[in-house]
């Protein structure tokens, strides 16, 4: 069963911004795009770069270490050198709290 954990508030992120959060032992990259929130694994599947610190263009995040690209809405790889997708986490907003399902 999925447990939802509060990881941030809606005021913690501006549109087009990402951050790194922790939820029950998972390190998660949390993003806000057009007032919607997305969450994928933070550790790039190529060599572990911090995706929450990557450059965001629409729903594409670029790993700051080696340039791998991922779709933040699905975790799918969009560009090498990564060849494995990121885990995707369900996100919900309860009042001003952002919650991630783990």
CA angle, residues 54, 48, 83, in degrees to nearest 5: 90
Give pLDDT, residue 21.
98
Closest Cα partner for 55 from 74, 36, 31? 31
User: 1-47 pLDDT, tens per residue?
Assistant: 889 999 999 999 999 999 999 999 999 999 999 999 999 999 999 99
Cα 42 from chain centroid (whole Å): 6
Q: What is the pLDDT of residue 61?
A: 98
Mean pLDDT of 36-65: 98
Q: Give the pLDDT score at 1.
A: 81
**Tens digit of each residue's pLDDT (9 = 90 or more) over 69-97:** 999 999 999 999 999 999 999 999 999 99
């Amino acid at each position: 069963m999925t447990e939802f954990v509060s990881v941030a508030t809606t005021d913690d992120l501006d549109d087009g911004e990402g951050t790194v959060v922790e939820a029950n032992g998972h390190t998660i990259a949390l993003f806000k795009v057009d007032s919607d929130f997305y969450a994928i694994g933070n550790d790039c599947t190529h060599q572990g770069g911090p995706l929450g610190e990557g450059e965001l263009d629409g729903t594409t995040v670029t790993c700051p270490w080696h340039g791998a690209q991922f779709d933040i809405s699905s975790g799918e790889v969009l560009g090498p050198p990564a060849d494995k997708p990121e885990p995707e986490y369900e996100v919900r907003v309860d009042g001003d709290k952002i919650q991630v399902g783990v």
